[in-house]
Amino acid sequence: MKLHLCLVSLAVGVLVSLQANAQSATSEKTEADCYAQQAALEKNIRDARSRGQMLRRRQLQESLDALRARCDEIASRDTHEARVMRQKNVVMQLRLDLANAEEELQRIVSEKKQK
């Protein structure tokens, strides 16, 4: 029984860590893409300003503002997903602790019956 519980907890731990790593890699890429796109737009805005292309500069600024809003939304969603994942990990750990405590209780009760 104890070996079975250990194997289950190990499998769950590996699964959760793989899922968390995959999510964090995805969110890092998304945030990195946002920063790269923002930098490119800011450079284009500077170029347009230096050439006197005020209409183009204004359009690029509007695009930059929209991009920043999307990036903020992505960052907040990633933060929410991370909080959910952490809470799931806490619940899973508590369930494992409860299972271990119940197993220990059964062992103690069976010791008394054997005496």
pLDDT in tens, 46-99: 999 999 999 999 999 999 999 988 888 877 776 788 788 888 988 999 999 999
Place of tokens 């005020």: 54
State how many domains the chain has. Answer: 1
List C-alpha distances in Å: 79 to 36, 91, 105: 20, 19, 39
Count of residues for the chain?
115
Dist. CA 64–CA 66, nearest whole Å: 5
Residue 12 falls inside a structural domain = no
Dist. CA 57–CA 54, nearest whole Å: 5
Residue 105 falls inside a structural domain = no
Residue 8 falls inside a structural domain = no
Which range marks the domain in which residue 80 is found? Answer: 31-100
**Degrees to nearest 5, angle at CA 48 with 44 and 50:** 115
Residue 84 falls inside a structural domain = yes
Looking at per-residue pLDDT, the higher value among 13 and 26 belongs to: 13
> Is 78 in contact with 30 (CB distance < 8 Å)?
yes
| Average pLDDT, integer, range 40-50 | 92
User: Which pTM value belongs to this model?
Assistant: 0.48
Residue 18 falls inside a structural domain = no
Q: How confident is the model at residue 26 (pLDDT cuts 50, 70, 90)?
A: very low
Residue 6 falls inside a structural domain = no
Dist. CA 11–CA 7, nearest whole Å: 6
Residue 68 falls inside a structural domain = yes
> Is 6 in contact with 99 (CB distance < 8 Å)?
no
**Please, what is the average pLDDT of the chain?**
79
- pLDDT value at 24 more than 80: no
